[in-house]
Amino acid sequence: MRYCTPSRVARGLCLVLVFYLVLKFFPGLPFLNLKSLDVAGLRSGATFLANSLIRVVPEKWLSPRGSWLKQLEMSEADFHHLEHYCEGPRLNETRDRKETLLAVQMLIRHGDRGALFAVKDESHISCPFDESHSLPDTFLAYYHAASSAATKSKTSAAFSHVPGMTGCLKGELTSKGVIQHLQLGSSVRARLGENSERWSLETVTVHSTYYPRTYQSALAFMHGLDPATETIPRKIEIAPPGDHMFCTMAHTCNCKTSKNIGAEYNRLSKELFELSPEKVSLTSRLLGIIGSHLERPIENRPTHVFDVLLQFACHGKRMPCFEGTCVTYHELVDVITLLENLSQKLSALPAVREFCILDAYGLLHTVTENLQAIANGNMSKTPEKRFTLFSAHDSTVVPVMTALGLPFRIVIPYASFVMFELYSVAGDGGNVYLRVIYNGEDVTASTIPCAGLTARAPHCPFRIFKEFIDKDLKEEFEDACKA
């Protein structure tokens, strides 16, 4: 094991001090953006940091999960509420040893990002790596691999492979978001178990929506899945602009009713929100404070207020103030509770389910067809369908889960995921089963096709799930299109 010599430590600490001072007093310098950093310089500097400095100051990099929130003044209940939305969900890395995993289809939401509404003084809400507090070696290795991939990976869009390191830029992935998907990819690799080497990047098919944050999240996930590689040479299929549900793959984008039902959903959401004057008053008051911090005015919608304030909370920053009045963290939790209650009411409305089915049917059909190809024994002919990753948004994950029968949600955590596992059980005659995991929880028994699973019959036959998608959900989709 190599240890730092005094001279190496001194040089390293001086380097960190100088870099910190430059970030603090000159956050906008263009050379601080990793998009334009020299790859060779990044590699040598990162190697020096990883090999020499991590052992010197490990407590800074390896802080406990959610430590940034614990430094703030809030109740324990508020802390856990905010942690749920800021930190990425975890995946159980163990499986029943009697099971053989045959295929995986995975849908992820991008990781932590800057708010969708530009904040004037966002420069003080810094999002550099040293606020991510974990996995420094993996993080730097990802930057090596992603930067190397810049010359080897071909996509239909000229996206940067890595996010910038200074500021929480509008709608852009942060280093915290990168680490969330490095961790998720690593957990998936552990869950694959003994045969994980057969699930290398060469057997993974990747799709992303037309946004840098989803593209970069996919790269981070893949590096977590296969960290041994020094590059990420996979081609990522980029969906056309505006296609957040990958409907072009299933040719289900042409339903003209979608816009009408989408407008109906927005109308119902607004009506339910305005039925509670105290809720409107809460968001109006908060909007009056945060409005002075925004580049442009935004509508009085709880989702807009939530999006702006979450950027402050998730990075442990002081909430915005105006004329001596500051937003409190508890008020942000009140907005979250408002959205959660509104979600429950919307879940009971038929129009909301129709809206989700119109969005999700095509993607669920694609997922099912990919799994069917493996279930038919075509693994050697179609290895690319064994593991498919779809990197997208909350507006992708929510319709999929709602179409399957789970409660509708207006907001979900960053790095949320849905995992479809196709597996067999030893001594069970070759039957093939399906498991649905949402944010680390096995929700198979809560889905419409697999409802009623018991301890005596704990497995959902894949054929039942496929029949539901091909028949029941297809009929609902077609009926909604004709409405």
DSSP assignment of 261-318: HHHHHHHHHHHHHHT-HHHHHHHHHHHHHHGGGBSS---S-HHHHHHHHHHHHTTT-P
The pLDDT tens digits of the residues spanning 211-250 come to: 999 999 999 999 898 887 766 656 789 999 999 999 999 9
Structural contact between residues 335 and 302, judged by C-beta atoms closer than 8 angstroms? yes
In a domain, 69, yes or no: no
- The pairing of strands 387-392 and 204-208 is parallel
Percentage above 70 pLDDT, the chain: 75
Q: Which domain holds residue 14?
A: 6-61
Structural contact between residues 150 and 232, judged by C-beta atoms closer than 8 angstroms? no
Do 450 and 324 lie in a common domain?
no
Q: Which amino acid is at 51?
A: N
Q: Which of 47-61, 269-283, 456-470 has the lowest mean pLDDT?
A: 47-61
Count, residues in the chain: 483
- The pairing of strands 441-442 and 321-322 is unpaired
* Whole-number pLDDT of residue 232: 67
Do 55 and 81 lie in a common domain?
no
In angstroms, how far is CA 408 from the centroid of its own chain?
A: 17
Do 107 and 228 lie in a common domain?
yes
Do 243 and 176 lie in a common domain?
yes
3-class secondary structure, 98:
coil
Do 199 and 305 lie in a common domain?
no
Residue 274 to residue 21: CA distance in whole angstroms = 48
Per-residue pLDDT, averaged over 319-323, amounts to: 89
In a domain, 87, yes or no: yes
Q: Which amino acid is at 317?
A: K
**Residue 57 pLDDT level (bands cut at 50, 70, 90):** very low
Tokens for 430, please give them. Answer: 């070759």
What's the total number of domains in the chain?
A: 3
As a 3-state breakdown, the chain gives helix, strand, coil percent values, each rounded to 5, of: 55, 10, 35
* Closest by Cα among 233, 125, 229, 242 to 174: 125
**Residue 455 pLDDT level (bands cut at 50, 70, 90):** confident
Do 303 and 356 lie in a common domain?
no
In a domain, 121, yes or no: no
Greater confidence (410 vs 428) lies with 410
* Whole-number pLDDT of residue 122: 54
In angstroms, how far is CA 252 from the centroid of its own chain?
A: 24
Structural contact between residues 77 and 159, judged by C-beta atoms closer than 8 angstroms? no
Structural contact between residues 185 and 225, judged by C-beta atoms closer than 8 angstroms? yes
* Whole-number pLDDT of residue 5: 42
Do 44 and 148 lie in a common domain?
no
Do 387 and 248 lie in a common domain?
yes
Residue 312 to residue 194: CA distance in whole angstroms = 41
- The last residue of a domain, from among 346, 381, 399: 346
Greater confidence (53 vs 276) lies with 276
Greater confidence (442 vs 428) lies with 442
- The pairing of strands 441-442 and 236-238 is unpaired
Residue 416: give its domain's CATH number.
Answer: 3.40.50.1240
Rg from Cα positions in the chain: 23
Structural contact between residues 66 and 83, judged by C-beta atoms closer than 8 angstroms? yes
- The last residue of a domain, from among 346, 373, 394: 346
Backbone torsion region of residue 126, taken as left when φ is above 0, otherwise alpha when ψ lies between -120 and 50, otherwise beta? beta
Q: Hunting for tokens 């389910």 — which residue is that? A: 353
- The last residue of a domain, from among 318, 346, 374: 346
* Whole-number pLDDT of residue 54: 28
In a domain, 273, yes or no: yes
Do 86 and 203 lie in a common domain?
yes
425 burial via Cβ count (<10 Å: 0-12, 13-18, 19+): middle
The pLDDT tens digits of the residues spanning 381-407 come to: 677 788 999 999 999 999 999 999 999
User: In the predicted model, is pLDDT for residue 47 greater than 70?
Assistant: no
**CB neighbour list of residue 237: distance below 8 Å, 6 or more residues apart:** 156, 205, 206, 207, 208
In a domain, 285, yes or no: yes
**CB neighbour list of residue 354: distance below 8 Å, 6 or more residues apart:** 261, 476, 480, 483
Do 363 and 387 lie in a common domain?
yes
Do 106 and 150 lie in a common domain?
yes
Angle of helix 350-375 relative to helix 257-274, nearest 10 degrees?
A: 130
3-class secondary structure, 379:
coil
Do 14 and 27 lie in a common domain?
yes
3-class secondary structure, 101:
strand
